[in-house]
Amino acid sequence: MICSGQSVFTGRTIDVRFGRTIEEVTDAANPSQLLIAPGFIDLQVNGFAGVDFNSPVATLPEISRAIDAILATGVTRFLPTVITGPPDAMLAALANLRRAQRELPRGRAIAGFHVEGPHIGAEDGPRGAHPAACVRPPDPDEFRRWQHATDNHIRLVTLSPHWPDAPRYIAALVRDGVAVSIGHTSATPDQIRAAADAGASLCTHLGNAGPALVPKQPNLYWEQLADDRLSASFIADGIHLSDAFLRAAARAKGPVRTILVTDAAAPAGATPGRYRLGELDVTLTPDADRVVLTGTGKLAGSALRMNHAIANFSRIARASLADAVTAATANPARIIGLPHALAPGCPADLVVFSSADPLTIHQVFLDGELVFSA
């Protein structure tokens, strides 16, 4: 097959010839108004289209429906994310998602799994919406149970480095080929440096799930922004972060270490109303913009779509569209070790879109299969 469009990175109109992988990229004979890029990657998806990935009883048809809805946003690979919960419930949710990855026709869009917690800060603020009763310290045996349930497909773990054994735990996971991210924390600068020394490579939704008040300096936010060993993910929905913080943080991390995530929960892509997020009862507000703990205004994930996140980030951070797309393609791919580029030999994961705000998705290919067409 051949797919044509302007490369979002170079502006050249190109023909991409592909089967399951990209075979050739050449200059096109005819101009195109459409843009082409590698498919987007989302490292943090708690659910979508009314389906809660944290539910051990989410059915294969439900998960398949959620995958199709995610593909329609231009995302071709994503990490279903299981948050803090009882040990047995987390394990059952991971096993259920692994079954979906293995058995669904488009389950290969699941690039692995992200476990966010339960080894996080227990206090209000850093804990975010995670249930306090289920927070617990890092446990190598529990990690091995996650890996056993997923046939070694855990790709990312978010934890707080304030736990005494955190550096040893981080180093063990990194040796096992798992990326470790700092998040949901009030850790000290020394503890953050120790986590990076041990191999942590990411900060999860930086600027969220931390203490409301911190010392002017030093503090955990400056430490994470200044450490070039750490990439940082951001929820660019215009709600989770102020425009000024997102703009300044993106400049600090630069175009190579900035990553966009949706942190989407089950209500994303669904109608307003009440849903579940693991142990939590959550509500999509009537304007369909916010996911909150039911009965409160406290954010619990997001209703964000990745094509919206890219457009929002470009506008708010005053970044080029090329840099915004890089934050949703090459940068997250590097964190979890995926080959991902408009280059021969890479998987034929492609998205064709126009640069409206939000981005309008026209076609999506997964391993060379057309999985969405407008």
The answer to whether 8 and 35 are in contact (CB under 8 A) is yes
- Rounded to an integer, what distance in angstroms lies between the CA atom of residue 365 and that of residue 374? 12
- Are 354 and 28 in contact by the 8 Å Cβ rule? The answer is no
263 is catalytic: yes
Q: How far is CA 354 from the centre of its chain?
A: 22
Q: How many CB atoms lie within 10 A of CB 145?
A: 17
What letter would DSSP give residue 39? P
Say how far apart CA 2 and CA 368 lie, in whole Å. 10
Catalytic residue, chosen from 227, 263, 323, 349, is 263
Per-position DSSP letters for 97-134, written without gaps between them: HHHHHHHSTTGGGB--EEEE-SSS--STTTTTTS-GGG
Beta strand 13-18 with 40-45 is: unpaired
**Cα–Cα distance between 57 and 71 in angstroms, integer?**
22
| Cα 210 to Cα 220: distance, rounded to the nearest angstrom | 9
The conformational region for residue 240 under phi > 0 = left, psi -120 to 50 = alpha, else beta, is: alpha
d(CA 72, CA 371): 8
CA dihedral (244, 268, 373, 258) in degrees, to 10, reads 30
Structure tokens at 314: 């470009």
Polymer length of the chain: 374
Inter-helix orientation angle 87-103/140-149, to 10°:
30
In the block, tokens 């063990």 appear at 172
| CA contacts within 13 A on the Cβ side of 298 | 16
Given its phi and psi angles, is residue 209 left (phi above 0), alpha (psi -120 to 50 degrees) or beta? left
What stretch of H or E contains 242? none
E strand or H helix that includes residue 44: strand 40-45
| Residues known to be catalytic | 263
